[in-house]
Structure 1
C-alpha cells in the first residue's frame, strides 16, 4: 500500500488525453518532486524490462530486485538517486548522454567519488583537460577491462600471474583442479579463482601439514619409528582381503566339506575363460587371495591371486618383515596377522583422524612442494591487487548509471507516469514498429511472445487486432497490430505484409489470428449489405458447385454406360438404350403450381410497391427508415464498442499494469492506421486499359427502367399535374321525368381524363 503523503508543494501541469488527466513532466523540478505525485494519477504502475523499445541496460539498472519489471518504488528511487548526484536536477531534462563534471555534486562522498572517477577515466583516455564526460568514455573503459591484468572483479587466472612466476601459476592451476573455477567478468570461457577458493585451498593444505606433523611426532616412539605410517598404509591396502582369507580358512577348519565351496569352482573359471581378462578385472579381484585350506596360512609371494600379488609383496616388505623381524617372509598365520594389527592400532587411529579435504587428487610431493614454497603469499597478493580495482569499478558503474539516467529517465517517465510520447505521436516505448498490410499502415503494434495467451485479455480492448508471425534472416518475432481505421473486408488469416521495426529493419509478416471489432461507424454502416452480398455469393457458388458436381456425375455415368455397351448391339438396340441421368418430363400440375406461386408472390410485391408509392412525398423518409432499420443496429453496436475501445487491455496482456482506461477514439484511431492516399500534387491517369467493359445495351435498359419507375411514381403522386393538360368530359343528359313541366338543363361536369 502506498504510504500517506503530505500535500504536494510542487505545481503540476496536466493535459487531457485518452479520457485521462495526465501529468506533464518536462523539467528537473518535475522529476525531483515526482514522489509527491499521487500514484492514482500515474498512467502505468508497472512495465516489463524486455519486449519494449527502450535501452535494456538502463532498465536493468532501475530494476534493483532483478524481477524483470519496473514498479513505482524503483522508478522513484532512480529519480531520487539521480537528483542527489547533481547540483541542478534540470540536467536530467537536457537531451544527450554527456555531462559536465562540474554538474556533479561533489559535496557528498558519493558525488566526489564519481567526479574523481570521471577525471581518472578522462586521463586514461588521454584527455585530462576535458571538462565533460560522455557515456562512450565509460563504456570504452568497460571494454578495456578484458585487456587489463587486474580488472577489479576479484577473480584471477593463471595468466594474471606473471609468466616468470611459475609458483603462483602452478598454485592457481592446482586450486582450479581441486576447488573448481569461476570465470572472470571479461571472459566467461576462461577458468579463474576468487578469494574464497584460494583461502579454502590453502586452509586445507595447512590442515594436512598439521596432521602430518602430529602423526610423525606420535610415531617416533613406535617400533618402526617414522616408517609406521607406511607400514600401516600397506596393511590397510590388503586388510579386507586378508580378513576374508582367514575367515574362509577358519570356516574350512570347522567343516572340511566347506573348503570346496569356499574355493572358486571350475564353472567360474570356465566363465572367465570366455572373457578378455586383465589383472584389474572384477572376475579376478573378487577371488580369494590364495586357495582355501583348513587352518592354512596366507602365502605372501607364491601361489597368490595375481591381482593382489603386488599389494601383498608391498605389505610383506613394509609391514610383515619389519614387525616380525623376518626377511623374505613367505607366509603369514592368523596369529601373526592379529599381532600386526595390535602393533599398528595407534597409527590406525591417527589415520582415522586425517582431515577430509579435496586435495587427495594431488600427489604428496606436490603438496609438500606447495607447503615448502611461498605460493600462498603470492596468490593472495594477486587477489588483493585485483580487488583494489573494485572500488574504481563501482564508481565507473555509478558514472554509467548517472549518464544513462540523464539520457533516458525523462523519456521513461513520459512513457510510464504519463503517455505523452504516445498521444503526441512521438513513438511510445511499447510501439514495436509499423505494419504495412492491406493498403494501409498500422502504427499501434506491440511485441507479443505468446499470441494465444495475449488474445485472452486483449479482446477486451474492443479493437480490431491482427496477430502476426514475423521472420527475418532466421529470426522470429510475434506482434499484434491494431487496425483502427479503414475497411477490414480483405483481412484474413494467412495474408502477408511487411513489418518495419523501430530500427528500420524489415520483417516478413503473416496474419495468424484475428480478433474482430468495428473500426468506424462508416464501416459498420456498410457491413450488413456486404455480409448480405457475401452470403448470396456463397450460396450461389455453393449451388453452382453442387450443380456442376451433379452434371459431372451424370456425364460420367452416361459415358461409362456407353463404353460398356456391346458394340454389336448398338445399332440394332439403339432405341432400347436408356442414357442415365435423362431428365423426366415435367408434370403439367407442377408447372401450374409454380405459376400460381409466382403469381401470388408478384401480387404481394405489387401490393407492397403500391403502398410504398402511395406514400407520396414521404417516400424519401421511408427509404431512410429502411436503411436505418438495416444499418442502424450495426452502427449502434459499433458506436458502443468504439466508445469502449482502449489501449489498456492490449498492454496489460503484454505485462504492463495500466492505471487508466486510455481510450482510443476515432480521431486517434485514424492517425494510428492510415489508409493509402494518392499525393495531392500527383497526376492521375484515369483511363484504365484493363477496366471491365460495360455493355451499352445493359446501360440503356438500366436507364430506361429508372426513367419508367421515376415517371410512374411522379404520376401517382400528382407531381406532373402542372405539366399534363386537363381533359374535360361532358356526360350525356338524362331524359326528364314524365310529367315534369320545367326542363332543368344538365350541368356540365368536367372530369380530367385518366
Structure 2
C-alpha cells in the first residue's frame, strides 16, 4: 500500500504539515501524531462553530481529541465520491459528490432528494445546510418526528391518552425529544404496564392465602388496620402483664404527674408525638384494652379503623374491650392477610385497586400507545439520514479550517485569525491580536507564566455581560501598562467591549526595552526617594510650625526673641561639610583625570560602562525572548499543545502593533502646546557635542586622520649642541 506524501512548512520553530487537498484530509490518520501541533482542544471558548465541534465530540465531554478528529475525517471521506469537496468550505452539498455505490450512500442521496422535494426544488442540485436544518426543524415539530417519544401535547384528540402519558412521565421519568420538549419513551411505557400487571396478579392471589376474611377488600383493610396499631397494642398488653406480675411496677409504667406538667408547657395537639408516646390506654394490672372510650387521643382514629375492620368482622360489633387472649387470636387469624399484604409489589404506582388495574389492562391504552411509538419510530431512519446530511455539510464546510487550527496552526501564522484568538485589544496606543478567552484567571496565570510573554489579563464588559481575556503584549514598551488601565476589546464578531487590566505577568518585550529598563528603574527609584524625602521634610516642618504656633498662642510671653548678630550656625559643622565636599571633589577630579588618560579608549570605556549596566538586563531579555512560546497560554485554556509554538521578534511585532500616521497624510508640526524647554535640551546637546569635539582636538585624537602635510610640525627642544631632537614639538 502506497503511503500518502505529505508537504511541510516551517513556522513557530517547528515543521508543520500542510493540509490543502482532500487526500490530505482522508489520510490524516496516517500522519504521526508527534507531528501534530495540538492533540486536544475544548469545544467552547474558541472561535469556531460549536455545533460542528459537538458533532466531532463523540463522548460529549466538551473536548475534541486527535482520535475523534481522525474519525470525523474518515467518516466524511467515506461519504463522498470526490474528496476535493471537503476542501471547498461551502455549505452547499452537490448531490453528485455523494457516493451511490454503498447502502448508506444511496440512503443519503435519497434523503437529499426527498429534502429538495420538500423545499420545492425537485431535480435541482446543491442541497444547502439551511434547507437541511429547516427540514429537521419541521420534522421535529411534527407529532411523529422519529425520536421514538410521545409528546402528550401532540395528542389533542385523545385527552385520556394524553393524561395517561403525563402520569407515566411523572412516575417513570421523561426523555428529551429532538424538538426540545419532553416525551414518554418505550422504556417508561413498558415499566408502567409491567407494574400494573404485577399489582393485578397480586390482587388475584388474595384468596390463595388462608385469610379468615374471604373478601379481598375486607382482608386488605383488616391487614392494614392491624399493621397500624399492632405495636402499640402489644405495648399495652406488655405493660398490663408486667403490672400483674409485680404491683410495684404499676406506678412507673403509668405517665407521671411531672411528665404531664412538662406536656402542659407545650402547644398540644391530638397528633403530637409527645402524646402519641404515652400508653394506648390507662394501665391496670391484667386489665383489658378499651376499644371505644378511654383511648389515647393520638391513636383514636387508628383504633376506630381497627375496631371497624378487625374486631367487628371477627368478634362482633358488641365487643367494646379486648383482652390478651382475644388479642392473640386476632393476630393469628390475620397473619395470612398480613403476609399477603406484605407481598404487594413495590413500584412507583403506590396503592392501586384491583378495579383500577383491570381497567388499565382491558382498556386498550397500552396497545394504542405502542402503535403511536411504532409509528414515530418509522420516521426515525429519515431523521437519522437528515442528521447525517447536516453533519456531512458541516464537515465539508469546516473540517479543513479546523485541521488548520489543530493539526497545524496555519491560520495563525498566516494571520487569518486562528480559532483560539478571541479578538483584538486596543490599549496603550497599540493593538494586541493575540488574545485568548480565559475561564479562571488565577488558574490560567499559573501555567501561562511559563510562556515568557508579557501578559495582561482583562475583564471585558458589554451590555451587562462579562468575559475575561488574556492579551499578549509582544512589542513596544510596557512602562504604562498598569492594573486598572482601560482599553477597548473587539471580539471576532466586531462587538466592542470595555476592557480593564486586572492582572499582569511581566516579561521583556524587546532587547531595546530591556536596554533602557535599568536606567528607567534607577530614575524611578531616585524620584521615589526624593518624593519620600520631600514628603518627610514637609511633614517635619509642618509639625514644627504647628507646635510653635500652639505654644505661641498658649503663652505669648514665652515667644523666642531673636537677638541681632546672634550666630546660629555651628562652625564645626560648616568645617566638616567643607572637608567632605573637598574630599568628594578630589575623588571626582581623580576619577575624571584617570578617565581622560584613557585617550582614544574613552569611547570603549563608555561602552563598557553602558554594557555593565544594561548588559545583564539585555542578556536576560534575549534568553526569555528566545523562549517565548504560544503553548503554555493555550495549554492553560484547555488545549493540549504538542509543538513548541515560538513567538519570535518578527512575529511579535506583527501581533502587537503601534499606531502610525498614514503615509499619505499631511502633518502640521507647529505644536502650539509644545514644551518650550525642549529647545534647551537641544542647546545642551550641541554644547556637549562641541565640548567633546574640543576635548578630542586637544588630545590630538584627530591627528591620525589628517594628511601628513596638515599635521602639526614635529620638533623638539634643542639638545645640548642646540639641535632640536626629532619628534619633539617646539614649545
**Match for 1:683 among 639, 656, 666?**
666
Alignment of 1:605-616 (within 5 A): 605-612=591-598, 614-615=599-600
Aligned pair in 2 of structure 1 residues 673, 255: CA closer, same or farther (>3 Å)? same
Partner of 2:57: 63
Q: CA offsets, 1:498-535, max 9 Å, x none?
A: 22111112222222333333323333333344334334
Q: Distance in 2 between matches of 1:224 and 1:18?
A: 88
Residues 216, 226 of structure 1: 8 Å contact kept: no
> Which residue among 561, 567, 572 is the counterpart of 2:556?
567
Question: Does the 8 A contact of 2:212 with 2:333 survive in 1?
Answer: no
| Distance change >3 Å, CA 273–CA 588, structure 1 → 2 | closer
Q: In the alignment, is the contact (CA less than 8 A) between 1:224 and 1:322 conserved in 2?
A: no
CA distance in 2, matches of 1:486, 1:451: 24
Structure 2 residue corresponding to 1:123, chosen from 117, 122, 136: 117
| Mapping of residues 4-19 of structure 1, within 5 Å | 9-19=3-13
Correspondence 1:455 to 2:406: no
* Alignment partner of 1:594 is 2:580: yes
Map of 1:540 onto structure 2: 530
Q: CA deviation at 1:555?
A: 2.8
Helix, strand or coil at the partner of 1:344 = helix
Distance 1:240 1:748 in 2: 144
Residue of structure 2 in register with 1:243 after alignment: 234
Does 2:509 match 1:519? Answer: yes
Structure 2 partner of 1:253 = 244
CA distance in 2, matches of 1:154, 1:583: 105
Contact 2:451 2:631 in 1 (8 A): yes
Relative distance call for 1:224 and 1:692 in structure 2 (3 A) is closer
CA 1:264–1:193: 2 relative to 1, 3 Å: farther
Corresponding residue for residue 741 of structure 1 = none
- 2:200 aligns with one of 209, 233, 249: 209
Aligned ranges for residues 602-751 of structure 1 at < 5 Å? 602-612=588-598, 614-615=599-600, 623-694=606-677, 703=686, 706-717=689-700, 719=702
Equivalent in the alignment of 1:196: 187
Structure 1 residues 309 and 660: alpha-carbon distance in aligned structure 2, compared to 1, 3 A threshold: closer
Structure-2 separation of matches of 1:362 and 1:229: 12
- Which is worse superposed, 136-145 or 360-369? 360-369
Offset at residue 151 of structure 1 (A):
3.1
In structure 2, the residue matched to 1:738 is none
Q: Which runs of 5+ in 1 are unaligned?
A: 1-5, 735-743
CA contact (8 A) 1:219 1:225 kept: no
- Unmatched 5+ residue regions in structure 2? none
Matched with 1:740 is: none
How many angstroms does 1:632 deviate by? 4.3
Deviation at 1:588, TM superposition (A): 4.4
Pairing 1:404–2:394 present:
yes
Q: Does 1:150 align with 2:133?
A: no
Aligned-partner Cα distance in 2 for 1:490–1:226: 88
Counterpart CA distance in 2 for 1:719 and 1:603 is: 25
Check the 8 A contact 1:171/1:379 in 2, yes or no.
no
> Following the alignment from structure 2 to structure 1, what is the Cα–Cα distance between the partners of residues 302 and 54?
62
Matched residue SS, 1:643? helix
Match of 1:491 in 2: 481
* Aligned-pair CA distance for 1:633: 4.3
Bigger mean CA deviation after superposition, 289-298 or 56-65 = 289-298
- CA drift of 1:674 comes to 0.9
- TM-score normalized with structure 2 length: 0.88
Higher alpha-carbon deviation: 417-426 or 132-141: 132-141
Structure 2 equivalent of residue 137 of structure 1: 131
- Whole-angstrom distance in 2 between the partners of 1:284 and 1:681: 98
Deviations 1:687-746 (A, max 9, x none): 111111138788767655653542243133175898899899999x99xxxxxxxxx9x7
Match of 1:329 in 2: 319
Q: Distance in 1 between matches of 2:649 and 2:156?
A: 73
Aligned: 1:44 with 2:33: no
What is the alpha-carbon root mean square deviation over aligned residues?
3.6
Deviations 1:333-377, CA, capped at 9 Å, x for gaps? 333333333333333332233332332255666445434422222
Q: Please, which moves more after superposition, 281-290 or 104-113? A: 281-290
Give secondary structure in 1 for the equivalent of 2:205. helix
Per the alignment, residue 165 of structure 2 pairs with: 172
Alpha-carbon distance change, 223 to 459 in structure 1, aligned in 2, over 3 angstroms? closer
- TM-score using structure 1 length: 0.86
Alignment partners' CA distance in 2, 1:210 and 1:353: 11
Contact kept, 8 Å, 2:211 with 2:337, in 1: the verdict is no
Q: Is the 8 A contact 1:219 1:228 kept in 2?
A: no
Offset from partner CA, 1:462-506 (integer Å, 9 cap, x none): 322222232323333222222222222222333222221111122
Any conservation in 2 of the 1:224–1:323 contact (CA below 8 Å)? no
Asked whether the equivalents of residues 171 and 370 of structure 1 are also in contact (C-alpha less than 8 Å), the reply is no
Q: Is the 8 A contact 2:514 2:621 kept in 1?
A: yes
Alpha-carbon spacing, 1:551–1:363, altered in 2? closer, same or farther (3 Å): farther
Partners of 1:83 and 1:503 in 2: CA distance: 31
Give the length in aligned residue pairs.
Answer: 724
- Structure 2 CA distance for partners of 1:305 and 1:157, relative to 1, 3 Å: farther
Post-superposition Cα deviations, 1:526-561, rounded to whole Å, max 9, x if no partner, equal: 334433433443343343333333333333333333
Q: Give the alignment of 1:6-405 within 5 angstroms.
A: 9-144=3-138, 147-160=141-154, 162-187=155-180, 192-216=183-207, 227-324=218-315, 326-362=316-352, 366-405=356-395
Instruction: Give the secondary structure class of the aligned counterpart of 1:382.
Output: helix
Q: Structure 1 residues 262, 639: CA separation in 2 closer, same or farther (over 3 Å shift)?
A: closer
Distance 1:537 1:174, change over 3 A: closer
Moved more, 115-124 or 695-704: 695-704
- Segment of structure 1 superposing worse, 84-93 or 163-172: 163-172
Change (3 A) 1:200 1:713: same
On the 8 A contact 2:81/2:99 being kept in 1, the answer is yes
Instruction: Evaluate the alpha carbon distance shift between residue 275 and residue 367 of structure 1 in structure 2; reply closer, same or farther with a 3 A threshold.
Output: farther
| C-alpha separation in 2, matches of 1:320 and 1:523 | 102
Q: State how far apart, in whole Å, the 1-side matches of 2:665 and 2:454 are.
A: 32
Distance of 1:226 and 1:718 partners within structure 2? 128
